[in-house]
Chains A and B, each alone.
Chain A
């Protein structure tokens, strides 16, 4: 999984916290999370077609999924990552 954030913007911080707690609760150790800061690495974000922050990409296992928002809606996040 890859999470795109925008520095210390409130939504980004919240998303980071949310994704960590969700992963710990539901996937324990069976996950890898990479955090990319768009403020420092905009080129990479552009390559991935990221528009809004925060955006969570599920890269594997397929199919890939994309979740936007601060991930406060746990049900939606789990639905997307399933």
Chain B
């Protein structure tokens, strides 16, 4: 850029103008899209999606902003490109007939003889005329390396690239060049990267037999961008970045509870799982993880909430049959359309594609509750960062959609490392672990709540019992420092009941004996009391009798003295006992009269 001159300087401070590609995620990491009126180079090995990337941005431009575009194909015939694009649902024929797109077949036939140096002046003139006619704003040079290779002269190659770049700047067209890398002349076109304004590299790596596609912006003149390698997926919807989403986590939280499908488990969690939370059910093979998932799904369907059951390596029919054996009927809900069961293979397409498919399913069915059984199938597929990333992104997507999701994860024992390797345990809001307790020749299932964010939860181990009538949780039996389950628990429970009955009987017997003794004592007291009353009555009679007798005796003596005329004592008797004397005298008189 020229320095000096006021208008020039003014122009240089204007931020780089961009045009959106409409490719999901790309416009975000490039902070707006491709640089307008400039050259962008898309590099990548075979099958990385260079042509798709280029074509998709043109198609999106044509559809969204009604931008016309030119496509110069150096590598494939235009009929091939148009028919390949049909697989993505892009109707290029219509776009061509409505003058929204123009395809230039720029393949050089093998019969062409090269006799000396050539240039692109004529072609650019031709394209310029066409661009003017269509009012095109975008142009793609697909497989530019094929043509430049024919020049067989690095200096001439550079000159032609500069020519294209200058031509784009002059015409105001936004250009995309695609170029193969990874061949023998990998280094050969390195200079291209320095010449253009923006470089995007599409990669394709294989880890443990699984393919990972990714996209990276290497440079972007005059703009900030995210320089990380972002996973991408190629599907019938085209190329898209399955990017990590916004850094700031934002999702609505609620205190609403969702039933687990087991009343006692609801109680252990103080009402159930939180709506919109992520539940992890981990456990050894056969520890009833799927059953727990089935119960959750059935309870959701029962409430009439759309539910999605994603199963890996197990067909829908088999899930239905297995759950029916413990009294869970999913077929009914599937028929009514509330429940959708989606079974797929673990070792299916590449993991990004798999999650993209799952996203599509989620968008189509709009579930409120979801089951992924087992999630570990996906994360175990490859011990690769990208897979963990994909799992995490998917769960993040589910969470922001406010879907309550129950994931099962296969693990032997409580190997925390394994859980954190996939990052699931950190995302999980509630983590229930199912384990086996082997004892006295049997294996029993034990349920523990390892964590449950934002809610109190029971710290007790419960025994999970399955029967054809359903699933129940039972308190485990702790005896002599041992946790007993299964038959041992049942026996102990019986024994305990018998013992308590024995104690009850013994106590009752003792109580009755004591009661009897008590009653006897009371009766005895009554007898004694009656005897006492009888005696005291007798005593009273006796006392009366004796006092009367003595009085009679005194009176009689006084009478006797009187009769004897004994005077020494009479006065005293008269003074003290007038009445008595009178009575005695009367009696004496009466006696005498008789």
A residues apposed to B, CB below 8 Å:
4-7, 9, 11-12, 14-15, 18, 38-39, 42-43, 45-46, 49-55, 65-74, 76-77, 79-80
On chain A, the residues within 8 Å of B117 by CB distance are 11, 69-70, 72
State whether the Cβ of B511 lies closer than 8 Å to any Cβ in chain A: no
Verify if B412 is at the interface (C-beta below 8 Å from A).
Answer: no
Report whether B118 and A11 are in contact in the complex, using a CB–CB cutoff of 8 Å. Answer: yes
A66 to B463, CA, bound (A): 84
Nearest chain-A residue to B163 (Cβ)?
A: A9
Q: Residue of B at shortest CB range from A18?
A: B116
Which applies to chain B's interface (DSSP): helix, strand, loop or mixed? mixed
Using CB atoms, name the residue of chain B closest to A36: B122
Q: Is there a chain A Cβ closer than 8 Å to B120's Cβ?
A: yes
| A42, B126: Cβ atoms closer than 8 Å | yes
In the bound complex, do residue A45 and residue B113 qualify as a contact, i.e. CB atoms below 8 Å apart?
no
Q: Which residues from B are CB-within-8-Å of A7?
A: 121, 125
A3 to chain B, nearest CB (A): 11
Is the CB–CB distance between B122 and A68 below 8 Å? no
| Sampled A-B contacts (30; CB under 8 Å) | A7-B121, A7-B125, A9-B119, A11-B118, A12-B121, A12-B122, A38-B121, A39-B121, A46-B130, A50-B122, A50-B123, A51-B122, A52-B118, A52-B119, A52-B147, A54-B122, A55-B122, A65-B113, A66-B109, A67-B115, A68-B108, A68-B112, A68-B114, A68-B115, A69-B114, A72-B116, A73-B114, A73-B116, A77-B113, A80-B115
Contact present for A52 and B116 (CB under 8 Å): no
Query: How far is it, in angstroms, between the C-alpha of A51 and the C-alpha of B141 when the chains are bound?
Result: 12
Give B residues with C-beta under 8 Å from A: 104-106, 108-109, 111-123, 125-126, 128-130, 147, 150
Name the 3 nearest CB pairs between A and B, nearest first: A53-B122, A69-B116, A6-B121
Nearest CB of B to A78, in Å: 9
B113 touches A49 (CB 8 A): no
Q: How far is the CA of A42 from the CA of B111 in the complex (A)?
A: 23
The docked-state distance in angstroms from the alpha carbon of A57 to that of B212 is: 47
A39 touching B118, Cβ below 8 Å: no
Q: List chain B residues, Cβ under 8 A from A54.
A: 118, 122
**B112 surroundings in chain A (CB, below 8 A):** 66-68
Question: Which residues in A have their C-beta under 8 angstroms from that of B113?
Answer: 65-68, 76-77, 79-80
Closest to A44 in B: B126
Q: Which residue of B lies closest to A52 (CB)?
A: B118
Which of B116, B125, B128, B130 is A14 in contact with, Cβ under 8 Å? B116
Question: Given A42-B130, A65-B111, A66-B109 in contact, is the A71-B116 Cβ separation under 8 Å?
Answer: yes
- CB-CB under 8 A for A70 and B126, given A6-B121, A65-B111: no
Within the complex, which residue of A9, A43, A51, A76 is in contact with B115, where a contact is CB–CB below 8 Å? A76
Q: Is the CB of B119 within 8 A of A11?
A: yes
A55–B116 alpha-carbon span in the complex (Å): 11
Bound Cα distance A67, B118 (Å):
10
Least CB distance from A38 to B in Å reads 4
Minimum distance in angstroms from B161 CB to a CB of chain A: 14
**Contact status B105-A68, CB under 8 Å:** no
Contact of B129 among A43, A53, A65, A77 (CB under 8 A): A43
B108 / chain A contacts, CB cutoff of 8 Å:
51-52, 68
CB distance from A43 to the nearest CB of B (A): 7
A53 touches B119 (CB 8 A): yes
Contact A66 B111 (CB under 8 A): yes
A11: chain B residues within 8 A (beta carbon): 116-119, 121
Chain B hits for A52, CB < 8 A: 108, 118-120, 122-123, 147
Answer whether A15 and B122 are a contact pair too, CB < 8 Å, given A42-B130, A51-B106, A66-B109: no
Report the nearest B residue to A70, measured CB to CB: B116
A45 to B129 Cα, complex, angstroms = 11
Q: A38 with B122: in contact, given A11-B117, A46-B130, A72-B116 (CB under 8 Å)?
A: yes
Please measure, in the bound complex, the distance between the C-alpha atom of A21 and the C-alpha atom of B121, giving whole angstroms.
23
Query: Known contacts being A51-B108, A52-B147, A66-B109, is A72 close to B115, with CB within 8 Å?
Result: yes
Residue of B nearest to A76 (CB): B115
Using Cβ atoms and an 8 Å threshold, which residues of chain B touch A42?
125-126, 128-130
A71-B106 in contact (CB<8A): no
Whole-angstrom distance between the Cβ of A66 and the nearest chain B Cβ: 5
A74 to B123, CA, bound (A): 24
Report chain B residues within 8 Å CB of A14: 116
Complex formed: what's the CA distance from A46 to B106 in Å? 10
**B530 → A minimal CB distance (Å):** 140
Residue of A7, A49, A51, A68 with most chain B CB atoms under a 10 A cut-off: A51
Bound: A42/B117 CA distance, A: 21
Q: How far is the CB of B78 from chain A (nearest CB, A)?
A: 11
Chain B residue numbers with a CB within 8 Å of A76 are 113-116
On chain A, the residues within 8 Å of B105 by CB distance are: 49
Residue of A nearest to B109 (CB): A66
Taking CB as reference atom, which chain B residue is nearest A43?
B129
* Cβ contacts under 8 Å, B147 to chain A: 51-52
- A81: min CB distance to chain B, Å: 9
